[in-house]
Amino acid sequence: MPEADVEMKPAADDKAAEEKASEESKETVPPTPVEEIKASIALIERAVTTLEPRFTHRVLRSLTSLKRKIDFSVLRDAVNDVYSKDTLVKESLLAWLPPAPAVEASMEIDQAPLPQKTPPPQSDPLPEAEVYLRLLILTLLLSSPDTHAKSMEMAHETVEKIQAWNRRSLDPLAARVWFALGRAYELGGELADVRPLFLSAQRTASLRRDDECQAVLINLLLRNYLHYNLYDQADKLVSKTTFPTSAGNPQLARYHYYLGRIKAVQLNYTAAHTNLQQAIRRAPPAKTAPGFFQAVHKYFIVVELLMGEIPERSLFRHPVLEKALTGYFEIVKAVRTGSLTQFQSTLSTYAGQFSVDRTYTLIVRLRQNVIKTGVRRLSLSYSRISLRDICVKLHLDSEEDAEYIVGKAIRDGVMEGKVVHEKGWMECGSGKNAYGPEVSEVFGRRIGYCLELHNESVKAMRYPLNAHRKELAAAEGAREREKELAKEIQDGELDDDDGLGDF
- pLDDT value of residue 121: 46
Q: What is d(CA 279, CA 328) in angstroms, rounded to the nearest whole number?
A: 19
Residue type for position 325 = L
- How many CB atoms sit inside 10 A of residue 90's CB? 18
At residue 418, the 3 state secondary structure works out as strand
- Mean pLDDT, residues 70-79 taken together: 82
Query: Which pTM does this prediction carry?
Result: 0.70
Q: pLDDT exceeding 90 applies to what percent of the chain?
A: 10
Is the pLDDT reported for residue 38 higher than 50? yes
CA distances to 12, 15, 16, 25, 30 from 20, rounded to whole Å, are 12, 9, 6, 9, 18
Please, what is the angle between helix 399-411 and helix 366-381, to 10°?
80
Architecture in CATH of 367-428: Orthogonal Bundle (1.10)
- Mean pLDDT, residues 343-362 taken together: 89
Q: What is d(CA 67, CA 176) in angstroms, rounded to the nearest whole number?
A: 14
- Mean pLDDT, residues 209-233 taken together: 90
Q: What is d(CA 171, CA 212) in angstroms, rounded to the nearest whole number?
A: 7
- pLDDT value of residue 498: 47
Q: What is d(CA 107, CA 262) in angstroms, rounded to the nearest whole number?
A: 58
- What tens digit of pLDDT does each residue of 11-34 get? 555 555 566 555 555 556 777 888
- pLDDT value of residue 110: 47
Name the average pLDDT for the chain: 79
- Mean pLDDT, residues 105-116 taken together: 46
- Mean pLDDT, residues 164-189 taken together: 86
Is the pLDDT reported for residue 257 higher than 90? yes
Q: Domain-by-domain residue ranges, the chain?
A: 32-98+125-189, 248-364, 367-428
Residue type for position 400 = E
Is the pLDDT reported for residue 189 higher than 70? yes
Pair 373, 338: CB distance under 8 Å: yes
- What tens digit of pLDDT does each residue of 325-349 get? 898 999 888 888 777 788 888 888 9
- How many CB atoms sit inside 10 A of residue 12's CB? 8
| Banded model confidence at residue 256, pLDDT cuts 50, 70, 90 | very high
Pair 366, 306: CB distance under 8 Å: yes
| Dihedral sign (CA 456, 461, 466, 469) | negative
- What tens digit of pLDDT does each residue of 124-149 get? 678 888 888 888 888 888 888 888 88
| Residues facing residue 417 across a β-bridge | 428
Pair 217, 243: CB distance under 8 Å: no
Pair 320, 287: CB distance under 8 Å: yes
| Banded model confidence at residue 123, pLDDT cuts 50, 70, 90 | low
- Among 14-18, 276-280, 303-307, the range scoring the smallest mean pLDDT is 14-18
Pair 138, 80: CB distance under 8 Å: no
- pLDDT value of residue 299: 93
Q: pLDDT exceeding 70 applies to what percent of the chain?
A: 79
Q: What is d(CA 233, CA 229) in angstroms, rounded to the nearest whole number?
A: 9
- Structure letter (DSSP) for residue 423: T
